[in-house]
Structure 1
Amino acid sequence: MSLPFRGNPYSGSPLDRASDRRDDPAFVAGHLRDPGTLFVPVWRSRNLMRLGPDGAEAVLLSASMATLLGVAERPWALLGLDRGRAVFAVDLSAEDDPLASMDGLEGAAFADLREAAGLLPAPEAAILAHARALMHWRSRQRFCGACGAACEPRSAGHVMLCTGCGASHFPRTDPAVIMLVTCRVEGEERALLAHNRRFPVARMFSTLAGFVEPGESLEEAVAREVREEAGVRVGAVRYHSSQPWPFPSSIMLGFVAEAADPTLMLDAEEIAEARWFSRDDLREPERVGIRLPRPDSIARRLILDWVEQVQR
């Protein structure tokens, strides 16, 4: 399989993150006061959107709306610049109904970002994902993990500084590998998909995945997870692509791995069922009684790229 040529959902943000300006108080304060600044609201891990039968759109707050909500007293962070205009994330989770006092937001509602999978324009989905992940981290880094003292935001919301021991805490992203395992079975290349016992959708089969452990390379994580979950040993491991996954705070690192032996020995506590599927099977998953992963997932991308034998 050649390297992919298109981005995954939640990637490809159009924002200039302006990381070199985050520690400039005048720069940040000036944009917070600028009437042209936009704010991406996050409420209890949900994003503000308008959802319709033909699509979805992100709903951002104007500076005047944000002022009414008292942005200065809420957790916020600079996401970046859009052609010179600043875009901030703001967490409104402390409000029971943050939209009650806002005019001009007809049809807008806070919703799970995954509900809009495939409906939002890609740049908007990337910005909402960025805001969701950053505000999730802020909500869980209120106190220092070293001494327990309270933390205060610095660097335009990208650092939490401990008021006790002075430790600086930075946004956390947990790396997870996700891999499509292939093998020749009866002379035909097939892909291994499994139904995890935690999947909320019945009969959904997906690629194997797992978090990277300390002291482990990505390739070693791929091999370990496949062996632990399916009892299969893999040889060649090739990188495919990556995807931000802010549910709540991961980066999915996609791989394709080759197995020499298709014999399966499943981890019964984790995997309910696993099978080797042909490309024809996965072109018509309903015919073989399964459902593929969500369209916004890199798992779906790995499967479809293999089915279509995508070329650069």
Structure 2
Amino acid sequence: MRRASRPNSYTGSPLDRASNRRDDAAFLAAALADGETLYVPVWRAKSLLRSVETGTPEAVLLTTLAAAAVGIEQRPHAFLGVWNGRAVFALDLSDEDDPAPLFAELGRVEFTDLRQVAGQLDASEASVLAHARGLMHWRTRNLFCGVCGSQCAPRSGGHSMVCPKCSAVHFPRTDPAVIMLVSHTDAEGVERCLLAHSHRFPMVKMYSTLAGFVEPGESLEEAVAREVFEEAGVRVRDVTYHSSQPWPFPSSIMLGFYAVADDAALTVDSEELMDARWFTRDEIRNIDALGLRLPRIDSIARRLIEDWVE
């Protein structure tokens, strides 16, 4: 296993998730009434921040009084855990067409996509905001039972949804996805890594590692080998784990790997990729000279590339 050089973005949460308190009704009631409790607002998958325009963003957490003013009891909320002795809840405000009037007294604050402040937000705050975003995304999209269609009710501090008709219990879903950097060493001993440009990428010139979702009945190593072969026509071996990263955009866990290819010949799946090519370390270090871009700095794809280069 190659160890990650440093923690990935959205990891290292300061929260004690206190899962043993989620079904403690007395504890939750006391926490909701406690003036020291904190609330993490989420509006249509965006987080409440201040100082975004100055490049020094900070998370805006609400006190119990402020949360009560926006009607916490009438809105989806969930217990996230305990932070420095204070209970923390996520609070979803997505039913508001314009949430700005709710926070007029807080000054210049705004709801922003976490990915827009990548690398600028405090790591602990980023992990808590990502946690809230992921959980509330699941909550607001699983209001009805997938078994019988009846409307469900939240339980366990918002960490499960229970159907009152058929008693089915639904839990938060996280989709496992493998993401991998494949390398190849040629006859002259020059090592290169495989990067590709996907049709899904927002920037035409961005090249990143290959990735894909794990299928039922498939190991992580098998998923790596299958995805690389399907997208680039390359057979790989020596699949080794690097690190993982929660990626609540909207609901994935990214599992990072390295793998080795014995043959550099590519057969690109044009439905998945626009292009794929091999890069030396020097080319990666000077990617701007090629007129290309690497993936965003908060992504595990970028971390896989940087750790391979260094």
Question: How high is the TM-score relative to the length of structure 2?
Answer: 0.97
Give the letter for the 1:23 counterpart.
Answer: D
Alpha-carbon distance in 2 for matches of 1:11, 1:83: 18
* Match for residue 236 of structure 2 among 234, 237, 248: 234
Give the Cα separation in 2 of the matches to 1:227 and 1:205.
18
Structure 2 counterpart of 1:274, one-letter code = A
The structure 1 segments of at least 4 consecutive aligned residues displaced by more than 2 Å after TM superposition are 101-104
SS at match of 1:48: strand
Match of 2:26 in 1: 26
- What is the SS of the residue equivalent to 2:26? helix
Kindly provide the CA deviation profile for residues 184-235 of structure 1, in whole angstroms up to 9, marking residues without a partner as x: 1342011000000111111100000000000000000000000000000001
**Cα displacement (A) at 1:140:** 1.0
Residue matched to 1:211: 213
AA aligned opposite 1:96: D
Match of 2:204 in 1: 202
- Where structure 1 has 5 or more consecutive residues not aligned to the other structure, the ranges are none
Does residue 188 (structure 1) correspond to residue 187 (structure 2)? The answer is no
1:119 corresponds in structure 2 to 120
Amino acid paired to 1:301: R
C-alpha distance in 2, partners of 1:260/1:290?
A: 26
In structure 2, the partner of 1:59 is: 60
Matched residue, 1:172 = 173
Classify the secondary structure of the residue corresponding to 2:106. Answer: coil
1:80 paired to 2:81: yes
Q: Which amino acid aligns with 1:37?
A: T
Q: Secondary structure at the match of 1:304?
A: helix
Q: Residues 73 and 265 of structure 1: is their aligned pair in 2 closer, same or farther, counting only changes over 3 Å? A: same
d(CA) in 2 for partners of 1:54 and 1:94? 29
The amino acid of 2:261's aligned partner reads A
Give the Cα separation in 2 of the matches to 1:6 and 1:85: 28
Structure 2 partner of 1:104: 105
- Residue type at the aligned position of 1:3: R
Q: What amino acid maps onto 2:209 in structure 1?
A: T
The residue matched to 1:39 in structure 2 has which SS? Answer: strand
Structure 1 vs Structure 2 CA RMSD = 1.0
What is the distance in 1 between the residues matched to 2:97 and 2:70? 12
1:287 CA displacement: 1.2
Count of equivalent residues: 308
CA distance change for structure 1 residues 187 and 277 in 2, over 3 Å: closer, same or farther? same
Match of 2:42 in 1: 42
C-alpha distance in 2, partners of 1:2/1:166?
Answer: 45
In 1, distance between residues paired with 2:303 and 2:239?
17
- Aligned-pair CA distance for 1:247: 0.4
Secondary structure at 2:223 match in 1: helix
Q: 1:46-97 CA distances to partner (integer Å, 9 max, x unpaired)?
A: 1101113332111111111100111011100001101210110010011122
Aligned equivalents of 1:30, 1:103: Cα separation in 2: 28
Counterpart of 1:141 in structure 2 is 142
Match of 2:302?
Answer: 300
CA distance in 2, matches of 1:48, 1:264: 44
The one-character-per-residue Cα deviations of 1:245-300 (angstroms, maximum 9, x if unpaired) are: 00000000000000000000000111111110000001110112210000010000
Match of 1:252 in 2: 254
Deviates more, 1:27-36 or 1:93-102: 93-102
Q: Which moved more, 1:45-54 or 1:220-229?
A: 45-54
Q: How does 1:248-287 map to 2 (within 5 A)?
A: 248-287=250-289
Matching residue's letter, 2:265:
T
In structure 2, the residue matched to 1:6 is 6
Structure 2 portions without partners, runs of 5+? none
1:103 is displaced (CA, Å) by 4.3
- Hey, what's the Cα distance between the residues in 1 that align with 2:269 and 2:131? 34
The 8 Å contact of residues 5 and 307 in structure 2, kept in 1 or not, is answered as: no
Q: Which moved more, 1:234-243 or 1:281-290?
A: 281-290
Q: Look up the SS of the partner of 2:138 in the other structure.
A: helix
Once the two structures are TM-superposed, the CA of residue 118 in structure 1 deviates from its matched residue by: 0.6
Identity across the alignment (%): 63
The one-letter code sitting in structure 2 at the alignment partner of 1:265 is T
